[in-house]
Each structure stands twice: as structure tokens, then as C-alpha cells.
Amino acid sequence: MVEVTVTPQSSLADRPVQIRVRGLSPSQLVTLRAWLKDEQGECFQSRAFFRADGAGEVDPGLHAALGGSYSGVWPMGLFWFLQPDSLFRRLVKRDVAGSPFRVRLEVLDGLSLGAEPKEQPLASCEAERWYVGPGVQRVPVREGRVRGALFLPP
């Protein structure tokens, strides 16, 4: 049985996570796909192609991506290379304190190039990426022409 995990499952957006896929056949070719919908409902996604090691595992922190949105060893590549499905869109988090980005990770058999995979994923999981830690207070700043926010630790 194929399993994909993200550790920790919930983390701050600037903290690294570890992605691991287990239960594959040795040398199996798979696509790891990450996608999310932003607050306006726009889809952003990335993908990377990997060949499982002799134990049937894939770890983007150890194994090089063979292609896709990036190539080489990038432990956080699936998060860093998220691209919009629509042109001229940027991934921006407006409600930084109220909710996280929920990034869906999927393992697909073989090379999957389409925007929407036609087959069911072998495994999937979800990672929460928060922009403000627990207990942090957000104070709006308006002074003359200056606009911003001050984030105070608990």
C-alpha cells in the first residue's frame, strides 16, 4: 500500500517539512503533485517526477527530481515551485492569521503531465501552511501614508 506523509503536517510557511513516499515498487517511476486553491479559488500546482529507490521510497530531500516543475534535489521544491493554472496570477495570502493554505500532495503512477490528472492518485495527504503562529497578535499600522501590520509575539 502506497503512503505519502508530510512531517509536520501543520507548520509555519517558512519552516521546512519532510515529504516521504513509501510502499512503491523498487525503481517505480512516479509523479509527486502539490496543489492548493487560494482564497479567490485559483488553483496553483507543481509536480516532480521521481524514481523510487531500492526500498520503494521517495524522499525529495534525498532523491533528485528527474523533471517536472523543477529538477534536482530540492526538499521543499513542491512548495516553492507552485505555479498558477491561470496566467498573471500570484500566490498571495490575504487572511494571514485566520486560516492556513491547505496544500494537497498526491502520488501518481508514471509521468503525469496534465493540469488535472485523469487517474486516481496512489496516495494523498494534506499539509497546512500557516503564516502566523499561535498567539501572535496582528496590529494594523496607519500613520500618515504608511500602511502595514505589526505582528507581536505572545
Answer whether residue 115 shows pLDDT above 80.
Answer: no
> How many structural domains are present in the chain?
1
Structural domain containing residue 62: 3-152
| Chain mean pLDDT for the chain | 95
Going by C-alpha positions, the residue among 18, 27, 22, 44 that lies closest to residue 123 is: 22
Q: What is the pLDDT of residues 15-72, one digit of tens each?
A: 999 999 999 999 999 999 999 999 999 999 999 999 999 999 999 999 999 999 999 9
The number of angstroms, rounded, from the C-alpha of 76 to the middle of its chain's C-alpha atoms is 8
pLDDT at 119: 86
Return the HEC string of the chain: CCEEEEECCEEECCCCCEEEEECCCCCCEEEEEEEEECCCCCEEEEEEEEECCCCCCECCCCCCECEECCCECCCCHHHHCCEECCCCCCCCCCCCCCCCEEEEEEEEECCCCCCCCCCCCCEEEEEEEECCCCCCEEEEEEECCEEEEEEECC
CATH number of the domain that 80 lies in? 2.60.40.2240
pLDDT at 142: 96
Answer whether residue 150 shows pLDDT above 90.
Answer: yes
